[in-house]
Structure 1
């Protein structure tokens, strides 16, 4: 038994070292630099205390990026989970070619986010306007990614399309754990489809709903690749997410220390939201049980 434990500890040591070197240590470095005026290039810097953190709350670009990111994340999370649950329920029913459709719906998760973004960029900029001109639909004739008011919708379409893939698989896994006897008993009692969903299906898959909601919101709050591929933060910074602002300002704008402070605040916000979600949704699971 002692040798077994020793072997297990020895197997985890490389993973722990790699995690510390490539995750924990850079994070601690970022926290340290957030209290300096380092520009990312010079070897010398001065300690400035909480100056960077105070300036964040006065920066209109930072505030607007937070507003955009939260709007994008909340809408995308709701749409992804509604669509994924509906599709999963449909795939879980007795339909032909069920496995084929499962593979098709999971395909977007296999593709790289940047590749998907560039493909949709071409679609929005060239294919859709051509269709709009041919079909004489004025709304489709213009590239929505070039509109300050509509660019965020294009990003949501891409993010939701790709984000549904994994959620559908998780919901399918949850639906397969629901005993068929419960539906047979409810049919005897005369329950309709809507009552079956709220009284049997949803309470049974509540843990899967919690996982999907937490992971979806966390991932969408960190939206970056779609921004890079579709809009580059434009037009007029209307689609500049927090992650994109940190990257753009830190690596291109010489604001490494300032954006390190932004990253620390961003980390605290995401962690706080995730923990709050878990607490609320798990409490609901207990109520449903």
Structure 2
């Protein structure tokens, strides 16, 4: 139905629709600055979230797999944000950025806390990336811990006997052996980042202006706020094609690495 509606003009309420051909697609590709900006922000947001969330999750998984005290408590602490609704997470961090940081600034006199974390366009982008990484980190951490636990001890011992240092063991033994976990986490993080809606909707509302408006939120505004379901459907189809294409490419890439490992 979404594909069908993308070729029509419909306000989402009327029973009657009119066929428009490729006009919706032509408009969004040639005459829609808001869509272009949303597309650029989505790619920027997805790039940094995917890099940071996977790098930090691997690093923390390596640390928590060592013989340290209370590592179960640390795992639970990192995972708790992942089980909370994204809408709630957004409202919590909005309160923190506006009220809590202001209180810290008054107590410490440090200008850092008084920065406009949600009001400045550049800082708002940084804030959305940080909160997204903080919220989702626990899920990827658990996946990587499971992957590390599946690495045979014999391989690590053999690498030690051969004189491999910690860095060499990481890149030559550990990472190749957990490539299935990396493949899954990369696929999941890219797909989630490209489709992100709830967290940004409740945290910044896409603002200030359109600085933090991703494609999903732009589609929502087009279809539900502007009552242009046909045009919104065309944007949804484009988002589907983008996510599908990126997912297929990265799955093939990481699957080839799994074979090599």
TM-score range, shorter chain: over 0.9
8 A Cα contact 1:227 1:233, kept in partner = yes
* Contact 1:129/1:143, CA 8 A, preserved across alignment: no
**CA distances 1:171-229 after superposition (whole Å, capped 9, x unpaired):** 01100011112222222222111011011100000110010001001001111111111
- Choose from 222, 233, 244 the match for 2:206: 233
Compute the RMSD of aligned alpha carbons: 1.1
TM-score of the aligned structures, taking structure 2 as reference length: 0.97
Match among 236, 240, 257 for residue 267 of structure 1: 240
- Describe the superposition over 1:71-124 as per-residue Cα deviations: whole angstroms up to 9, x where unpaired: 001100000000000111111111112222222221111111111111110000
| Cα pair 2:41 2:212 within 8 Å, conserved | yes
Q: Structure 1 CA distance, aligned partners of 2:165 and 2:78?
A: 28
Q: 1:55 aligns with which of 19, 27, 47?
A: 27
Q: Deviations over 1:131-164 (max 9, x none)?
A: 1233222232133111112101111111000111
The normalised TM-score by structure 1 is 0.88
Q: For 1:103-122, list aligned pairs within 5 A.
A: 103-122=76-95
Unmatched segments (≥5 aa) in structure 2: none
CA contact (8 A) 2:116 2:123 kept: no
| 1:37 counterpart = 2:37 | no
Q: Which has the higher contact order (CA 8 A, sep 6+)?
A: 2
Q: 2: CA distance between counterparts of 1:39 and 1:206?
A: 47
Aligned to 2:135: 162
SS at match of 1:237: coil
1:220 to 165, 186, 193: 193
* 2:105 corresponds to which of 124, 127, 132: 132
Contact kept, 8 Å, 1:124 with 1:144, in 2: the verdict is yes
Deviation, structure 1 residue 43: 1.4
Deviates further, 185-194 or 151-160: 185-194
Give the Cα separation in 2 of the matches to 1:45 and 1:106. Answer: 47
Structure 1 residue 150 corresponds to structure 2 residue 105: no
Report whether the alignment pairs 1:208 with 2:181. yes
1:178 to 144, 147, 151: 151
Residue deviations 1:209-259, cap 9 Å, x none?
A: 010001001001111111111111111111111000111110111111001
Would you say the 8 A contact 2:75–2:138 is kept in 1? no
Matched pairs, number = 260
Point out the structure with max Rg over C-alpha: 1
Contact 1:117–1:229 under 8 Å retained in 2: yes
- Residue 129 of structure 1 and its aligned partner are, at CA, apart by 2.4
Secondary structure in 2 aligned to 1:42?
A: coil
Q: Is the 2:121–2:208 Cα contact (8 Å) retained in structure 1?
A: yes
